[in-house]
Amino acid sequence: MIAASLVSLFEFTGTSYAAARYGSATPVPPSIISRGAGW
């Protein structure tokens, strides 16, 4: 279960940065990324 959570976290991080790049937006701040991780 923990392994699946870590994989999901990495996928979310990569998807967020990719979406920001494709949309020509600013990168997602680390505070938003850590919000998805739960810490």
| pLDDT per residue rounded down to tens, the chain (39 residues) | 888 878 887 887 788 888 888 888 888 788 877 776 665
Domain range for residue 11?
2-37
**Count of domains observed in the chain:** 1
pLDDT of residue 38: 60
pLDDT of residue 37: 62
Using CB atoms within 10 A of its CB, is residue 28 exposed (0-12), middle (13-18) or buried (19+)? middle
Identify the DSSP state of 1.
Answer: -
Token representation of residue 25: 């937006």
φ/ψ of 14, rounded to 5, equals -65, -40
pLDDT of residue 36: 63
pLDDT of residue 20: 85
